[in-house]
Structure 1
Amino acid sequence: MIKVAMTGVYVDDVARAHAFYTDVLGFETRTRMDLGDGVLFVTVGAPEGAQPDLQLLLEPGQGPIAESYRRALYEAGIPCIVFSVDDLAAEHRRLSGLGVRFPHGPREQGPVLAAVFDDTCGNLVQLVQPKG
């Protein structure tokens, strides 16, 4: 059986992304290593062991491929990653109260309720809650 162990998201500032993904979104730090020359290797994951073997790599987004990819997604309004939540309305209220900017708030989108927020690190992120 093959399972997802890690996926990455390009960010324009790893330290700032680490603070946002942990302090605001509530993820836990799984790995934080200083690789020298100001380069950090940081992974985060869902809190309380919800998905203990799945990590999100906050990957440096510098370089022509990563920067153009990230910018193109952002300008097109396409989220770079999708997170699931149990109560989208409550999570939208919580994050909005922390100053998170939502280009679009909760709305029906096919089989889910969805909202999109700006992660302050160059990306749009989608939150979804299954309907019903």
Structure 2
Amino acid sequence: MKPRIHVMSVFVDDQAKALDFYTQHLGFVLKHDVPLGEYRWLTVVGPDDTDGVELLLEPNAHPAAQEYQRALAEDGIPVASFRVDDVEDAHRELSERGVVFVQPPGVQGDLTIAVLDDTCGNLIQLLGPA
């Protein structure tokens, strides 16, 4: 058996807003949008790896999900890390698009890291080479 990651979830407080942010601001592309009653099976993928790992924009409707999301955000803990080629360039480009960073780019060991607010209740870490 050779397991591999297929789908990872990020809880969001509004799926439509999350889809807009992750596609229009971060540059992901829509993979699946399947109606499931009140919610949707809504996934995005990287534009250069459309058959790669899918990020599920999952509703935080359950109270435990809401508490988890709130606690991590309050403590400044990112829920996901996205690799970019150049964090400084990504920071500049995303800031111009109106993305709010709670931590500007900084070198930590052999990585440059910045943290942004996804507008849907999460902090997201961008990382790349130092």
Tell me the TM-score normalised to structure 2 length.
Answer: 0.95
Alignment map for 1:19-30 (pairs within 5 Å)? 19-30=20-31
Post-superposition CA distance 1:52-105 (Å, at most 9, x none): 231000000122110000000000000000000001111000100011110111
Q: Show the counterpart of 1:3.
A: 4
Structure 2 equivalent of residue 43 of structure 1: 43
1:103 correspondence with 2:102: yes
Supply the distance in 2 between the matched residues of 1:19 and 1:60 (Cα, whole angstroms).
15
Q: How does 1:14-93 map to 2 (within 5 A)?
A: 14-36=15-37, 38-48=38-48, 50=49, 52-93=51-92
Shift of 1:35: 1.4
How far is 1:127 from its partner? 0.1
1-structure distance, mates of 2:103, 2:52: 31
Alignment-mate amino acid for residue 25 of structure 1: L
Indicate conservation of the 8 Å contact 2:8/2:56, yes or no: yes
Which structure 1 residue ranges, 5 or more long, are not aligned?
Answer: none
Runs of 4+ residues over 6 Å off in structure 1: none
| Letter of the 1:113 counterpart | T
TM-score, length basis structure 1: 0.94
C-alpha displacement of 1:40: 1.4
Stretch moving more, 66-75 or 105-114? 105-114
Q: How many residues align?
A: 129
Q: RMSD in angstroms over aligned alpha carbons?
A: 1.0
Shift of 1:110: 2.3
**2:9 is matched by which residue type in structure 1?**
G
